[in-house]
Structure 1
Amino acid sequence: MLETPIHSGPYWVYLPPLKSKAEADNKTEELKNSGIKDISVIRDGKWENAISMGLYGKEAIANDRVAKLKKLGINAQIEARGKTARTFALHHLSDDELKQIKQMQTDFGGPAIKKTTCE
């Protein structure tokens, strides 16, 4: 059996909430001084004092942004902000079908694919 979780975008790149407004403002200033653009502090709700670093329609683009930030020593995270993740189970795939699915994943930047045992 092959399970394919589907996560729906947009994909939010962010730093988790900091302890205070002052910490969030200081971190934002530090990031701006290091050349990071398009960032803002969330000011209310459960994400208060988180630092938003972009909202992306495609997961691959969000992953690229996180990788670039990581090279700068910034440990940003990604959260799918769309619908709840879904999983599709594909049973009894031939080697050729599995190869085709993996090729589609490569071509379209698709979701992770993992092989599991059937229950």
Structure 2
Amino acid sequence: MKWLFITLVIANLAVYGFSQLETPPSSIELSQREKNASAVKVVTGQLGQVTAVNMASEPVPASAPLATATATATATATAKPTSKPTPTPVAEIGRCWRWAGITGDQIDSARTKIQNLSLIASETASGESSKVWVYMPPLATLEIAKQKAAQLAEMGVTDYFVVNNGGRWQNSISLGVFSNREAGERHLAELKALGVKSAVVREKDDTLKQASFSFKNLNSQQSDKLAKLSAQFSGSVLRENKCK
């Protein structure tokens, strides 16, 4: 009996020792779990719900929904805005002008410069065939003559210019030339009705040769060129007329 008891004890010890050799130490298992702990990610919100559903069926990389959302956001941010339709340009309305008060030698110079600016004008000349001249006699200075001309414009006079060529009629104001005295007297009466008091009519003998130029349908750029040109001819007058 004694030997049988000893034998059973030894057998049990052997079985226990063998089982201890077969089972890995618990510390190894914990170590492995700690090493894999960094791979565990806590996912919340809508992304967590999507991941939980996918895990129930088959594994889906957690980065897939995030990559899709990022790509969508990038595409939205870089999308070009819809271009607005180009408005239809409005055609510019042309302007009409009359440039008067060009006298003597100025006429040829004005005609040449008009051509150089590629402007088209109709020319009206007067002088040789005219017999009477309606005018205001020369004033003391050119500045006074210009002030008087400005007053004429305010009174409604449309055909006038200051003579400024250094000749006999310097600083006078021309109000028109006519082929006969009757037409001159009629125009003088019209001026008197407007309030012009110092205008007179005289027989044409040494009256200045005059010319005027009319321009139609000029755009803004052409009108600016004409204004700069007229400023070069002292005493000339540039007026805008209604286009016909």
TM-score grouping bracket, smaller chain normalisation: 0.5 to 0.7
Alignment TM-score, normalising by the size of structure 2: 0.29
- 5+ unaligned residues in a row in structure 2: which ranges? 1-128, 207-244
Please report how far the alpha carbon of residue 9 of structure 1 lies from its aligned counterpart in structure 2 after TM superposition: 4.8
RMSD: 1.9
* Structure with more of its chain in strand, by fraction: 1
Counterpart Cα distance in 2 of 1:31 and 1:82: 26
- 2:182 alignment counterpart: 60
Identical columns (%)? 33
> What is the one-letter code of the residue matched to 1:79?
R
SS in 2 for 1:62: helix
Higher Rg of the two aligned structures: 2
Pick one of 183, 188, 200 that aligns with 1:77: 200
Moved beyond 2 Å, runs of 4+: none
Relative to 1, partners in 2 of residues 1:82 and 1:46: Cα closer, same or farther, differing over 3 Å? Answer: closer
Pick one of 141, 147, 151 that aligns with 1:20: 141
Q: Is the 8 A contact 1:10 1:55 kept in 2?
A: yes
Counterpart Cα distance in 2 of 1:10 and 1:16: 17
* Structure with more of its chain in helix, by fraction: 2
Please report how far the alpha carbon of residue 72 of structure 1 lies from its aligned counterpart in structure 2 after TM superposition: 2.3
Q: Is the 8 A contact 1:9 1:82 kept in 2?
A: no
- 2:155 alignment counterpart: 34
Counterpart Cα distance in 1 of 2:192 and 2:156: 14
Higher relative contact order (CA 8 A, sep 6+): 1
* Residue 50 in structure 1 maps to residue 172 in structure 2: yes
Alignment TM-score, normalising by the size of structure 1: 0.59
How many correspondences in the alignment? Answer: 76
- 5+ unaligned residues in a row in structure 1: which ranges? 1-7, 84-119
Please report how far the alpha carbon of residue 33 of structure 1 lies from its aligned counterpart in structure 2 after TM superposition: 1.8
Deviation string 1:30-87 (CA, Å, 9 cap, x unpaired) is 101221011001112111100000000011110011111112221310111149xxxx
